[in-house]
A and B are shown apart, each in its own frame.
With several copies, the nearest count.
Chain A
């Protein structure tokens, strides 16, 4: 399995002089995912659950097989896997469900490094239900500062943190947070959006109680995400969205919800997208992740070294490779991130500039104008890093 083989699976990468380094926003998609979705829509398209004709049986089988594929990726049980419309929806689902039993004497602990999608649901529900919200601060290099976890006390019922920062690539110490949360009987919700693009993960072994991720960042289709939850917790979680396909009985005001996972899948689920996500995860599981991780780390090292050689670059986040994934953010002295990203784009290098839906982190790190983010995937190679560094030097020359 060479990087060339990996690249060749992605039709979009065949474009010449095109360097996609915006993977943390949305990853590209292998041809087999595109084909799986198309094939499903031609040969197995029907609504799922209790269909009695041939297409419906195929759709049911494909959808439940997709659930098993996700379960395999997460080393979990299929009935612990809930398909949602995205990572944000998964986080809203678990926040909405858990918030049902929270009130003014309770607290939820998030971190300053959260993406808005793992902050706003808790913030808005806190206003609504009156519970407290506290934030784990970050260190100067954007890591969660776990030196004082005393805020995770008896009032704390939920700790909700990101597994990997979408800005800095820093990997959170989930086992340590799990220990702190479980010591006070709190549940640990982990936002895995930036972790799952870099290989299979075992949220149960990490100590998470709930784990969310997005299809489109994991080489799968848009329009699908996953909420995993321990069976014992899903069993008690009330649904936070309601509709067809999730009730067993409905008699007047009495509603009898189906067991998980269907209780959480109100309405027609994203069937073809779940099938596409399964194809993406199957593709991922075919990679040698020890090798891929080395490759990604190599690119990160190369990038960090290249940035160190440029004038006026200030890193945002860890400057080493330990406990970090291949997401690297930085500022360029005297240049607004949007101007730089724009010029890089003209140069065929796709990166992102801005606040990255992480305004509290930007504020904590004093980044009023946001920063530039380079985020890599297994299909990136030296040429992408070279193009970026070359483009960066030229952008600075143009802008200054």
Chain B
């Protein structure tokens, strides 16, 4: 059985759920009703920069793992940069672009599995939504 997609790195990421923030600047809830995935994501912003992130995710391993990367590695980014991540992740999955965050390297194995792309994208969509850009 191929474990490429379910390598240890992914499982480790999925196991680290940040939890909600106490005093977020903004929050977003996003559903993927097709598979029941749901993410609640909180963000704090100061001076145009993402200063903190939290999340609770119900969903598959890929979605949970991706959510962890989002909150752990988008902190410190400029808001515009964080909003743009969803497009970069999409380009990574669909066009083979390189991972926009180091932690996303583990997700390159998901490329051939188109029906799983949405799982990886959902947290980044939630991030963009929380940052007020609306969905792409």
Residue of B nearest to A52 (CB): B115
B119 at the interface (CB under 8 A from A): yes
A169 surroundings in chain B (CB, below 8 A): none
Asked if A154 CB lies within 8 Å of chain B CBs, one says no
Check: A61 CB closer than 8 A to any chain B CB: yes
A184 at the interface (CB under 8 A from B): no
Q: At the interface, yes or no: B16 with Cβ under 8 Å from chain A?
A: no
CA gap between A56 and B112 in the complex, in Å: 13
Contact B34 A342 (CB under 8 A): no
Q: Quick check: which of B57-65, B67-75, B85-93, B100-108 contacts chain A, the rest being far away? A: B57-65
> Interface 1/0s, chain A 224-256, versus B by CB < 8 A?
000000000000000000000001111000001
Residues of A within 8 A of B35 (CB): 50, 336-338, 353-355, 369-370
How distant is the Cα of A354 from the Cα of B116 in the complex, in angstroms? 12
Residues 24-66 of chain B, each 1 if its beta carbon lies under 8 Å from chain A, else 0: 0000000111111110000000000000000000111110000
- The answer on a CB contact under 8 Å between A338 and B119 is yes
Asked whether, in the complex, the Cβ of A339 is within 8 Å of the Cβ of B6, the reply is yes
Q: From A51, A346, A355, give the contact of B2 (CB < 8 A).
A: A346
Alpha-carbon separation in the docked complex, A360 to B40 (Å): 23
How many residue pairs between the two chains, A and B, have CB atoms under 8 Å in the bound complex? 77
Choose one: A60, A362, A391; the contact of B36 (CB below 8 Å).
Answer: A362
Also in contact, A395 and B1, with CB within 8 A (given A51-B115, A57-B113): yes
Task: Answer whether A398 and B3 are a contact pair too, CB < 8 Å, given A51-B115, A52-B115.
Answer: yes
Give the contacts of A324-357 with B (CB-CB under 8 A): 336-339, 342-343, 346-347, 353-355
The docked-state distance in angstroms from the alpha carbon of A116 to that of B82 is 37
Number of interface residues of B (CB under 8 A): 25
Residue of B1, B5, B33, B115 touching A248 (CB-CB under 8 A): B33
Judge whether A394 is part of the interface by a CB distance below 8 angstroms.
yes
* Minimum C-beta distance from A386 to chain B (A): 15
- Decide if B114 touches A339 in the complex (CB within 8 Å): no
Residues on B with beta carbons closer than 8 Å to the beta carbon of A56 = 115
Question: Complex formed: what's the CA distance from A247 to B62 in Å?
Answer: 23
- Which residue among A391, A394, A399 has the maximum number of chain B CB atoms within 10 Å of its CB? A399
Partner of A336, one of B11, B33, B34, B61: B61
Q: Known: A336-B60, A391-B1, A398-B6. Contact between A57 and B114, CB under 8 A?
A: yes
Find chain B residues with CB under 8 A from A336 CB: 35, 59-61
Alpha-carbon distance between A93 and B31 when the two chains are bound, in angstroms: 28
Cα A174 to Cα B113 in complex, Å, equals 41
Distance between Cα atoms of A347 and B62 in the complex (Å):
18
A342 B1 Cβ-Cβ under 8 A:
no
| Chain B hits for A51, CB < 8 A | 115
Query: Per-residue 0/1 for A43-77: is the Cβ within 8 Å of any B Cβ (1 yes, 0 no)?
Result: 00000011110001100110000000000000000
Given A49-B115, A342-B116, A369-B58: 11 more A-B contacts, CB < 8 Å: A51-B115, A52-B113, A56-B115, A248-B34, A256-B33, A337-B35, A353-B35, A359-B33, A368-B38, A369-B60, A399-B11
Residues of A within 8 A of B (CB): 49-52, 56-57, 60-61, 247-250, 256, 336-339, 342-343, 346-347, 353-355, 359, 362, 367-370, 391, 394-395, 398-399
Interface residues of B (CB under 8 A from A): 1-3, 5-6, 11, 31-38, 58-62, 112-116, 119
Pick 11 A–B contacts, CB within 8 A, sort by A. Answer: A52-B113, A52-B116, A60-B114, A249-B31, A336-B35, A336-B60, A343-B6, A355-B36, A362-B36, A368-B58, A398-B3
